[in-house]
């Protein structure tokens, strides 16, 4: 027998901001799993800012998406047919074959997760790649020290919202965040425990950050004006974890760098870019610590859901427009 299902392909490479026409929904037939394989019905899939870079045909730390092939990314789902005795029907698994309603995968390509203590979707956010990214950035890339002032840009997103809380648990004396709306600013300060936050639409980042510096650690999710403003207000010997630059992802031409680069020298700053997949050895430590924080109510998170594969592209486009608070996810079933 076969399973009729749908998946989203990259129809053309975006120029500038992606549009719906760059994607195509395709109906396919999947065979029953063979020995060592499982058929997974996806229940939740992730959309993430890094996926924009994979839509370009350029060499990077991860291969680009292929035209007329399904996109991929984090997803959780339920095994509905199995040729692997270690993964019986009903097992909830995490894998990288998102952007489709069903996936036929080798058993080695999925990881069982416990969905009895937290929702399965948490393994795509707070207990997944975004959470691990926040933890690695503030423990290994720009380590937070007791008494530090920490600034997080894009602080209401999947990574930033966890990073601010991790900074506090690591001993930061002051945590400051930027976000894109008054509602998000209130969430940061009233629910997540940020000491201060500002809406970057309200004025230049450098001007708004001035009252909160000097900054010892900056976790950069945005780049551009945010990075320039942070450099201006960094303390001597400050550390910067360069995680992303969403402000530039849709740029059609190279964007100018910060105009105050000489301050990196005069302040003896350390700026270090990182990719979380290079730090898989930190995963066990992170899951143990984050799990304990969650159990104790010391780690909060929020998920923004859209429903159905037909809304997946719109959910992805919504990341650039700031339509998510916390992790953006697509419910598939």
Where residue 96 sits, what CATH number does that domain have?
3.90.180.10
My answer on whether 120 and 246 are in the same domain is no
Residue 25: Cβ-neighbour burial (10 angstroms; 0-12, 13-18, 19+): middle
In the chain, pLDDT over 70 holds for what percent of residues? 100
CA-to-CA distance for 242 and 269, rounded, in angstroms? 13
Closest C-alpha to 309, from 29, 23, 100: 100
State the pLDDT at residue 221.
96
CATH value at residue 228: 3.40.50.720
Q: Flag whether 271 is in a domain.
A: yes
My answer on whether 263 and 325 are in the same domain is no
Is residue 85 within 8 A of residue 76, CB to CB? The reply is no
Q: Flag whether 291 is in a domain.
A: no
Tell me the per-residue pLDDT of 45-68, one tens digit each, with 9 for 90 and over: 999 999 999 999 998 888 999 999
What is the DSSP secondary-structure string of 257-287?
Answer: --TTTHHHHHTT-EEEE--GGGGGGGHHHHH
Q: Flag whether 265 is in a domain.
A: yes
My answer on whether 193 and 171 are in the same domain is yes
My answer on whether 36 and 120 are in the same domain is yes
Of the three residues 277, 292, 315, the one that is the final residue of a domain is: 277
Structurally, how many domains does the chain consist of? 2
Q: Flag whether 292 is in a domain.
A: no
Range of the domain at 56: 2-125+302-331
State the pLDDT at residue 249.
84
Q: Flag whether 293 is in a domain.
A: no
Q: In this structure, what are the phi and psi dihedrals at residue 2, rounded to the nearest 5 degrees?
A: -125, 165
My answer on whether 145 and 208 are in the same domain is yes
Task: Report pTM.
Answer: 0.94
- At 295 the three-state DSSP class reads helix
My answer on whether 45 and 105 are in the same domain is yes
My answer on whether 144 and 119 are in the same domain is no
| Residue 89 Cα to chain centre, angstroms | 29
Least confident window among 178-187, 204-213, 255-264: 255-264
What is the DSSP secondary-structure string of 46-71?
Answer: E--TTHHHHTS-S--SSPPPPBTSB-
Contacts 24+ apart (CB under 8 A), 247-251: 247/222, 247/223, 248/223, 248/224, 249/49, 249/52, 249/53, 249/320, 250/14, 250/16, 250/17, 250/18, 250/52, 250/320, 251/16
My answer on whether 138 and 243 are in the same domain is yes
Angle between helices 129-136 and 158-169 in degrees, nearest 10: 40
Q: Flag whether 282 is in a domain.
A: no
Closest C-alpha to 325, from 306, 294, 300, 302: 302
CA angle 233, 239, 243 (to 5 degrees): 100
My answer on whether 94 and 190 are in the same domain is no
> For residues 134-161, b (16+ Cβ closer than 10 Å) or e, as one string?
bbbbbbebbebeeebbbbbbbbbbbbbb
State the pLDDT at residue 61.
87
State the pLDDT at residue 147.
98
State the pLDDT at residue 149.
98
Structure tokens at 137: 């950035």
My answer on whether 212 and 311 are in the same domain is no
| Other CB atoms within 10 Å distance of the CB of residue 38 | 27
Q: Flag whether 287 is in a domain.
A: no
Mean pLDDT computed over 143-171 = 98
My answer on whether 145 and 242 are in the same domain is yes
My answer on whether 133 and 109 are in the same domain is no
State the pLDDT at residue 333.
75
């Amino acid at each position: 027998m076969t399973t009729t299902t749908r998946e989203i392909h990259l129809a053309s490479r975006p120029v500038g901001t992606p549009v719906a026409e760059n994607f195509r929904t395709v109906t396919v037939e999947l065979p029953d799993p063979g020995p060592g394989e499982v058929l997974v019905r996806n229940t939740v899939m992730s959309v993430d800012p890094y996926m924009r870079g994979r839509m370009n045909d350029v060499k990077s730390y991860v291969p680009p998406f292929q035209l007329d092939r399904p996109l991929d990314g984090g997803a959780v789902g339920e095994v509905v047919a199995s040729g692997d005795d270690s993964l019986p029907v009903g097992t909830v698994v995490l894998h990288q074959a998102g952007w489709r309603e069903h996936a036929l995968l080798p058993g080695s390509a999925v990881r069982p997760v416990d969905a009895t203590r937290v929702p399965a979707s948490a393994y795509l956010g707070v207990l997944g790649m975004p959470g691990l990214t926040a933890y690695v950035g503030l423990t290994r890339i720009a380590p937070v020290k007791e008494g530090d002032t920490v600034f997080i840009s894009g602080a209401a997103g999947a990574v930033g919202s966890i990073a601010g809380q991790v900074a506090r648990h690591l001993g930061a004396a002051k945590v400051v965040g930027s976000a894109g709306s008054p509602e998000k600013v209130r969430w940061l300060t009233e629910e997540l425990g940020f000491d201060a936050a500002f809406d970057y639409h309200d004025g230049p980042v450098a001007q708004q950050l001035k009252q909160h510096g000097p900054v010892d650690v900056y976790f950069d999710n945005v780049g551009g004006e945010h990075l320039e403003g942070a450099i201006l207000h960094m303390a001597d010997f400050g550390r910067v974890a360069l995680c992303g630059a969403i402000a530039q992802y849709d740029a059609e031409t190279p964007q100018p760098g910060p105009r105050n680069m000489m301050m990196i020298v005069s302040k003896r700053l350390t700026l270090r870019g990182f990719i979380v997949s290079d730090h898989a050895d930190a995963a066990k430590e992170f899951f143990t610590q984050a799990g304990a924080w969650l159990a104790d109510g010391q780690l909060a998170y929020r998920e923004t859901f859209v429903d159905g594969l037909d809304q997946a592209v719109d959910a992805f486009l919504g990341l650039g427009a700031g339509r998510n608070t916390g992790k953006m996810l697509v419910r598939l079933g």
